[in-house]
Amino acid sequence: MEWCMSMPKVELHAHLNGSIRDSTLLELAKGLGDKGLIDFSQVEHVVLKNDRSLSEVFKLFDVIHILTTDHATVTRITKEVIEDFASENVVYVELRTTPKKNEAKGMSKRSYIEAVLEGLRAISSVDVCFIPHSEELKNHSNPISISAINDKCNENTRKKIFVRLLLSIDRRETTEAAMETVMLALEMRHFGVVGIDLSGNPAVGEWVTYLPALKFARGQGLYVTLHCGEVPNSREIHDMLDFLPERIGHACFFEEEHWKKLKSTKIPVELCLTSNIRTLSVPSIDAHHFVDLYKAKHPVVLCTDDSGVFSTSLSNEYKIAASSFGLGRKEMFELSKSAVEFIFADNTVKEDLRNIFSLAAKNLE
Ligand code: 6MZ
């Protein structure tokens, strides 16, 4: 299914630290091992392990964060992750990441995001468009903004990828910490931050803790996407749907009343097939809720979640959907194209993406 690779795709649910290449993680672990800061053989075992329960995945993230939370590494992994998506013809990605403090490295939440932006600027193999076009117009006296990093990019034949950022609130955080992330997102809007994600170990924390920050974000015009129903928690799923987020991720442990509510609200769902199977959040691919939602014509988008941790790619997710659910090339193309309507970037970007898909459709005929 070469076409899964070559057709344009839109990635709306990808966590930066979950999308790191294994080779990079091992190189970083080796570096810290050589300095005597960690036991490399232990970390190597954890990184290369393939089957993990959901709770083991969060233990792995704690290990990954030890390896990656310094400015240079955050810049490096951002660059590599976007290059990897571009190489499989992802034309728009909303990359999400949790801004982190690391006092030992002089890192604040703000400098963490600046390091992410540095990573976007460092990419040269493809045009990366992450500065909203409206910002470029506003600042056109500033030569730095007139560069190949804004939405207009150059109109030549070079490959181009649109990138927008979502700042994640980790469920371990307090209301104050969540609010700090939202304030940062507001400050960073002109660098392509479009929204807030709520993620982290679903066994931890309470919805009411994050609600004030999420309400504030919404009031300020930021988009919100929530990890919803990753574990059975009927009350929380109910409350999350009541909030009417612009999108939700996963929706694995929904009950009848939740499905009804979801379908009536038409909230788009980010579906991560491999992630759900690996973490045993769904019993089997045949039983995946993709089937029901797709048949009901509910808005869904296929995503990777953590392409590094789950050894997958967006092309692979499309391949799995096509072969598991008996969908043909045309149907998969339409599915990919429909994701454009659920992105958080503005209409100018949507229009550009619609054109990219129209052009690709001609090649499909
Ligand atoms: C919930 C997840 C997740 O933010 O450090 N994360 N949260 N469910 C999942 N499904 C498996 N996968 C990743 O990326 C890693 C962080 O993203 C969240 C977790 O908070 C994890 O620590 P960043 O770039």
pLDDT one-digit tens code per residue, 118-137: 999 999 999 999 999 776 66
**Interior/surface letters 288-317, b for 16+ CB within 10 angstroms, e for the rest:** bbbeebbeeebebbbbbbbbbbbebbbbbb
Question: Mean of the pLDDT values across residues 280-290?
Answer: 96
Closest CA to 201 of 224, 179, 175, 233: 233
**pLDDT at position 46, please?**
77
> In this structure, how many other beta carbons lie within 10 angstroms of the beta carbon of residue 234?
13
Say how far apart CA 31 and CA 226 lie, in whole Å.
Answer: 35
What pTM, to 2 d.p., does this model score? Answer: 0.95
Specify whether the CB–CB gap between 357 and 334 falls below 8 A: no
**Which range of residues forms the domain containing residue 227?**
2-364
Spatial contact of 164 and 345, defined as CB atoms under 8 Å apart: yes
Which CATH number belongs to the domain containing residue 143 in this structure? 3.20.20.140
- Give me the catalytic one of 230, 236, 270, 317: 230
Cβ neighbours for 347, distance < 8 A, ≥ 6 positions apart: none
- Cα 360 from Cα 142, distance rounded (Å): 35
Q: Which of 146-150, 242-246, 325-329 has the lowest mean pLDDT?
A: 146-150
Number of domains in the chain: 1
E strand segments, 153-272: 160-170, 193-199, 223-228, 247-250, 269-271
What is the reported pLDDT for 156? Answer: 59
Q: What is the DSSP letter of 139?
A: T
Element spanning 266, H or E = none
Q: Could you tell which of 107, 112, 199 is best to mutate to test the pocket of ligand 1, judged by most ligand atoms within 8 Å of the CB?
A: 199
| pLDDT tens digits for range 2-14 | 999 999 999 999 9
pLDDT at 155: 56
| Segment 156-165 mean pLDDT | 88
Kindly report the protein residue whose alpha carbon is nearest to atom 7 of ligand 1. Answer: 200
Burial class (CB in 10 A: 0-12, 13-18, 19+), 357: buried
Distance of alpha carbon 168 from alpha carbon 164, whole angstroms: 13
Active site residue 230: yes
pLDDT digits (tens, 9 = 90+) for 296-331: 999 999 999 999 999 999 999 999 999 999 999 999
**What letter does residue 246 receive in the DSSP assignment?**
S
CA distance linking residue 193 with residue 129, whole number of Å: 12
Residues 6 or more apart whose Cβ sits within 8 Å of residue 192: 130, 131, 132, 163, 164, 165
Note the pLDDT tens digit of each residue in 75-96: 999 999 999 999 999 999 999 9
The answer to whether residue 148 scores a pLDDT higher than 80 is no
Cα–Cα distance measured from residue 146 to residue 137, given in angstroms and rounded to the nearest whole number: 9
Distance 358 CA to ligand 1 centre (A): 34
% of the chain exceeding 70 in pLDDT: 93
User: In the structure encoding, which two tokens stand for residue 57, read together?
Assistant: 């995945």
Pocket test for ligand 1, best of 11, 12, 13, 17 (most atoms within 8 A of CB): 17
Angle at 219 between CA 214 and CA 225, to 5 degrees: 40
Mean pLDDT, the chain, rounded, equals 93
Residues having CB within 6 Å of any atom of ligand 1? 15-18, 57, 61, 97-98, 168, 170, 199-200, 227, 230, 275, 279, 305-306
